[in-house]
Amino acid sequence: MAKKEETVKKNIASNLMVKWPKKIFLFGLIFLLVLGLVYFSVKFLLVASVNGQLVSRLTIIKELEKQGGKKTLDTVILKTLINQEAKKRKITISQKDIDAEIQKIETNITAQGLTLDQLLQQQGMKKSDLTEEVKIQLLVSKMVGENINVTDKEIDDFINSQKKQLSQNPDQEFPREQVKQQIKQQKLQQKIQTFVAGLKDKAKINYFIKY
């Protein structure tokens, strides 16, 4: 009888020893899950606390959408259309081309006494944003075609027009090559606007939210 009682006690003790590690593991797992949820909330759902009142990320997103939702959506749609058209035409832009264009931008900015980082900070942009913008611009330029002619008459007319506007400084010089590039750029921008408008007209765009 005594042996039987001792055996029962041993079995109970053994069962407790087996169950406790399982409970500890379960409690630890629950603790980690709760900790993960708290971290996720703070990192991805909450952005600030004002006198103890929490400000959610969703509140910021809603406010940003009110202020510039339509403009941002139009920009995203436009970039999507350009990338789709470039893919259809099998047109690509190499990183070398992008870097060369950014170098030109940086050279122009430096001549104005600024650095590229300063300009990006002023515009609220990152280097990756600039890279994307340059890539889109180069894609469009390739699709539109850069073979734009500028006649001598167009250069003369531009210079004469500028001199009339600057009547107080009639001796100011206008380098013809510089004027030519300026006119060429204006013509390119006009072609780009026409091209982009054509893409939007042909596209099937469904809006699920109206701003």
In single-letter form, the type of residue at position 185 comes to Q
Question: Is residue 13 very low, low, confident or very high in pLDDT (cuts 50, 70, 90)?
Answer: very low
* 41 and 117 fall within a common domain: no
Question: Is residue 112 very low, low, confident or very high in pLDDT (cuts 50, 70, 90)?
Answer: confident
Report whether pLDDT(24) > 70.
no
Residue 54 DSSP code:
E
- DSSP bridge partners of 46: 56
* 18 and 86 fall within a common domain: no
Residues 6+ apart with CB under 8 A from 51: none
* 72 and 29 fall within a common domain: no
Last residue of one domain, picked from the residues 35, 50, 65: 50
Overall pTM surpassing 0.75 (yes/no): no
Which residues span the domain enclosing 27? Answer: 2-50
The domain spanning residue 138 has which CATH number? 1.10.4030.10
Last residue of one domain, picked from the residues 31, 50, 69: 50
CA distance 47 to 184: 47
* 91 and 8 fall within a common domain: no
Neighbours of 135 (CB within 10 A): 21
* 145 and 66 fall within a common domain: yes
Question: Is residue 123 very low, low, confident or very high in pLDDT (cuts 50, 70, 90)?
Answer: confident
CA distance 39 to 170: 67
Q: Is residue 15 a part of any domain in this protein? A: yes
Query: Which pLDDT belongs to residue 70?
Result: 87
* 11 and 71 fall within a common domain: no
**Domain total in the chain:** 2
Question: Is residue 61 very low, low, confident or very high in pLDDT (cuts 50, 70, 90)?
Answer: confident
Q: Is residue 208 a part of any domain in this protein? A: no
* 83 and 13 fall within a common domain: no
* C-beta separation of 56 from 47 below 8 A: yes
* 61 and 133 fall within a common domain: yes
* 120 and 181 fall within a common domain: yes
Residue length of the chain: 211
* C-beta separation of 143 from 85 below 8 A: yes
- HSE of 64, CA atoms in CB hemisphere, 13 A: 8
